[in-house]
């Protein structure tokens, strides 16, 4: 009777924990993005906090505050400044599209006219069916993209108060996660309703993939985007920062990469007679932008995440579609935990069989 009562009480506790966890998730869902980036900042900058803590062993608050100040100066403020410049350039491009100063169908026609006759015929007979239809579709797609960027810019301005509130909450939470992260992490690992070895492996996987995604892929993409923006500025292309931001986003996606941005630009420059500008774009894209990933990623990450490129691509795009910018991290992280969880289950199911087969 006592055993049955104990099971009922344990089951009741599990139900209570499930319900209260769902309720808490619903309550903080408005600040989910801020909490996620606060946790990522605390995780990535925990080594810096520990270094400062060794200098001030009895002043954890000061060490956390200085770490947060460094994060703000080195990451947050430059990101806000660059983001505002990109929004301004996107709004300018949108205005030029509406006024007709930018006509993508005209650009496409110039590129088409510079191609060999056979390639022109092949392009007209495949995909879009006709040159006019291709021009219309490309112009419509690019115009819709510019319109979306402009709408996002207007939404950011309209929701400035909400953005500042979420930003303040993120900084506040990041302070405590930095200060108490070395205590919160082990406590959460012990509290997971899993075997110690399983929870340890999942935690290690979480940390490694998060660092690889943000510290590796994120930083490499930013570097490639900055190099692309500098290249476009050198050759005199308008809205160089906007092109660089698009290149940064493309660099986050495996099998896509920044070439999807600079290669069409180089083709257009060749088609319009800007030979040396096109040569600079191609040379920078191949020799500088393309090699940045091979050089920087091993230095920043040091090891592979163990996730197939196709799965990273799909989960990153799906994550961005589901939760916005945070999907860059959430997508690959979900895929990594999914793979690790099934690997652990397969290993556990294989253990009894291997013991049974022993003589």
Nearest to 181 by CA among 323, 17, 41: 41
Q: Which has the higher per-residue pLDDT, 289 or 121? A: 289
Nearest to 21 by CA among 11, 13, 33: 13
Question: For residue 108, what pLDDT is reported?
Answer: 63
* pLDDT tens, residue by residue, 324-337: 777 777 888 888 88
Question: For residue 183, what pLDDT is reported?
Answer: 80
Least confident of 132-146, 225-239, 288-302: 132-146
Length of the chain measured in residues: 359
pTM metric for this prediction: 0.65
Contact 111, 268 (CB under 8 A): yes
Q: Is the pLDDT of residue 339 over 60?
A: yes
Q: Share the mean pLDDT of the chain.
A: 74
DSSP string of 86-107?
Answer: HHHHHHHHHHHHHHTS--HHHH
Q: Is 344 exposed, middle or buried (0-12, 13-18, 19+ CB in 10 A)?
A: middle
Q: Is the pLDDT of residue 227 over 70?
A: yes
Query: ∠ CA(262), CA(268), CA(269), 5° rounding?
Result: 85
Question: How crowded is the C-beta side of 286, counted as CA atoms within 13 Å?
Answer: 7
Question: For residue 313, what pLDDT is reported?
Answer: 77
Q: Is the pLDDT of residue 89 over 80?
A: no
């Amino acid at each position: 009777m006592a055993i049955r009562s104990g099971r009922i009480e344990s089951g009741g506790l599990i139900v209570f924990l499930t319900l209260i966890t769902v309720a808490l998730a619903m309550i903080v869902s408005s600040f989910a993005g801020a909490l996620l980036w606060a946790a990522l900042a605390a995780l990535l900058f925990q080594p810096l906090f520990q270094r400062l803590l060794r200098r001030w062993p009895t002043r954890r608050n000061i060490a956390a505050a200085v770490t947060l100040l460094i994060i703000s100066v080195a990451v947050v403020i430059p990101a806000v400044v660059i983001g505002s410049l990109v929004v301004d350039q996107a709004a300018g491009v949108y205005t030029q599209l509406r006024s007709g100063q930018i006509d993508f169908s005209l650009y496409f026609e110039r590129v088409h006219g510079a191609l060999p006759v056979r390639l022109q015929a092949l392009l007209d007979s495949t995909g879009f069916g006709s040159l006019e239809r291709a021009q219309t579709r490309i112009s419509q797609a690019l115009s819709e993209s510019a319109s979306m960027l402009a709408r996002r810019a207007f939404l950011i301005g309209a929701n400035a108060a909400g953005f500042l509130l979420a930003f303040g909450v993120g900084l506040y939470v990041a302070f405590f996660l930095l200060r108490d992260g070395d205590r919160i992490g082990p406590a959460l690992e012990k509290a997971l309703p899993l075997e110690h070895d399983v929870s340890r492996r999942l935690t290690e996987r979480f940390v490694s993939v998060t660092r690889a995604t943000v510290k590796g892929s994120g930083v490499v993409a930013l570097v490639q985007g900055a190099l692309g923006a500098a290249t476009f500025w050198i050759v005199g292309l308008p809205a160089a920062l906007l092109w660089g931001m698009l290149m940064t986003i493309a660099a986050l996606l495996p099998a896509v990469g920044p070439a999807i941005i600079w290669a069409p630009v180089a083709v257009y420059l060749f088609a319009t007679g800007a030979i040396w500008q096109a040569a600079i774009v191609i040379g920078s894209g191949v020799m500088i932008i393309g090699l940045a990933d091979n050089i920087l990623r091993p230095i920043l990450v040091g090891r592979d995440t163990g996730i197939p490129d196709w799965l990273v691509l799909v989960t990153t795009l799906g994550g961005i579609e589901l939760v916005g910018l945070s999907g860059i991290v959430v997508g690959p992280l979900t895929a990594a935990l999914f793979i690790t969880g099934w690997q652990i289950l397969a290993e556990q199911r294989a253990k009894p069989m291997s013991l049974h087969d022993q003589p």
